[in-house]
Structure 1
Amino acid sequence: MATVLILGAGVMGSAFTLPLADAGHDVRLVGTPIDAQTIDALRQNGVHPRLNAPLPRNVRTFHHHEIGQAVSDEIELIVIGVSTAGVTWATDLLAPVLPGPRPVMMLTKGLDTDGKNIRPLTDPVAEALKCPTGGVGGPCIAGELAVRRDTSVVFAHPEEATLRRLLDLVAAPYYHARPSRDVVGTEVCAALKNFYALGIGAAVGMLDRQGGAENGAQMHNIAAGLFAQALLELRQINALVGGSDSSVHGLAGTGDLYVTVQGGRNSRMGRLLGAGWRYSKAKAEKMKDETVEGAELALSAGPTLENMMREGALAKQQMPLTCAIIDAISRDHEFSVDWQRFHYAH
């Protein structure tokens, strides 16, 4: 039996307790300040209020101010499942209490940018905690994992021996984790899938705006064209940062993008954009209290991506969907794509 600490009691961090707990491990779930009501609810009846499902009984819960009680020498793995904006808070909380270097896995998705360069979020976490850090990617809807639906994911970690041990830890019959040493590619795909889901989700909004056809035709052609273009552009960014092409075409890229487009906050925002809403109005009136990860990434990484295009590191002519999403989010323009630039020869 191993002892695993998960920081972040949102839907994904909490759902991740299941394969660990079902494999017989001691799982300690620590909430952030915004998870206080969730931790209280779990302590009262064991049911996660947002997942609408019970967590295993061998999951122990802690408020963030109880971190000292949750951390011990027995901890074998640290899992970070906070929001992207909360990563620095998480490392500040963990660093003083860690008993020494431990493997860290990121459920949190995001990129670290400085206006000129892009790197995976695992890099600043590894620097802050002085721990080898990897990430989990692939198509995993938390609500499905919470009821033990079969789920295929990628575990990426820089250390081969650690990677093998991590796969042993999550050996539940419904959780199918596959190994990868491509931490960069896994993390880049995991972050940008939210960004591109905004553009692909716009197809449904275009249908809302235009209205149904007399013969009942939908807009699957448009959605498929947007999906294919997203993969072309994702491939370019991933290659530039140093990720493997296989991650784009596997679970971390294509698989995760597909499931993200099926539902969730990013595709819902995309639908609003496709229907003609400006981002600021859609966020304020329709999704005020929700974090839209793809939009947050557009705001934070957009300037760096545009600098890369200006300097020629990325070919702007080949990035029409990226440009359209950045314009819609960062400049509050109406979402509009230049179809003549789509599927440019790469």
Structure 2
Amino acid sequence: MILVTGGAGFIGANFILQWLAHRDEAVVNLDALTYAGNPENLRSVEKSDNYRFVHGDITDADLLQQVFARYRPRAVIHFAAESHVDRSIHGPEAFVHTNVTGTQRLLDAARRHWQHLDGHDRETFRFVHVSTDEVYGTLGPDDPPFRETTPYAPNSPYAASKAGSDHLVRAYFHTYGLPVLTTNCSNNYGPFQFPEKLIPLVIANALAGKRLPIYGDGRQVRDWLYVEDHCRAIERVLKRGRVGETYNIGGWNEMANIDIVRKICAVLDRWAPLADTPLKHPETGVAIGHYADLIAFVADRPGHDRRYAIDARKIETELGWTPEETFDTGIGKTVKWYLDNRGWVARVQDGSYREWIAQHYNPSTYKAEK
């Protein structure tokens, strides 16, 4: 079996669902169930004979030792992380604790487990560390995309904590010989994403008739990757990746945030037309004709990176992986999922989440779209 950390979160849950749908190999999911970890994401497999859930934290060294001793996984897929830049700005310590200390303790537990394996089991054991393109810093408008050899230059506490975890993974390979692989991915989107991130936030706010907050001028560029494409890439890295290597995973979809929001609004105009469910502007009370009428600009966040872009040629050339979804097909599937699962959205939007949104997107900072 394989051990997945953070499997109740957005990418981890999609990975487990995809894995169990196509493979007859068991998964152990270790998750602390923080605000973004939701067992409901895995309800369809929770009674499967091939699924085990362990509630716990990757910083708990004793628990990690027990999990490895009991389940003896042939591989670790390490998703567990604090992952939102805005939260890291207001509370960086939690990011260092989980992303750096937690990764180090997980590496130690995996190393002890691996060192006691014999023969084929020892040779085939793998530790796949899932990281982010944010460790590379920011790009100018004409700079080439990030490659695996791009120097690290993290600009937020989140990115710095992930960079620290990447360096630890590399060190455990070079110092101890632990068979590790690292992936650095671009912005993911798709089903089960917690609605603090741009795409699900825009969908949820639009359907509720709330403002659609856009940082700064909205011209920050990101490379967008549909989550199921990302999960297929991780499987490919686990199966065929060269030990000790890093693989960048991207969707070849560079788009500005404001263009993403307008595209989502256009899809909603077609699939959830306001003629069927009229909405009024939250400030003026006047009926709106299009979801884009809800767009508003807010003060930019500190240290906001201007552009990310991934050069994914290494994984495409060496491992034969390419994304199956274009942004248009992926965003269509994503919007449809959120339209069909409004109950899920409502259940994850509890009081603490609404309080956090109010703190970071205060209506008094809104400006009309330029």
TM-score bracket for this pair, using the shorter chain length: 0.3 to 0.5
Q: Of Structure 1 and Structure 2, which has the larger fraction of its residues in helix?
A: 1
TM-score by length of 1: 0.46
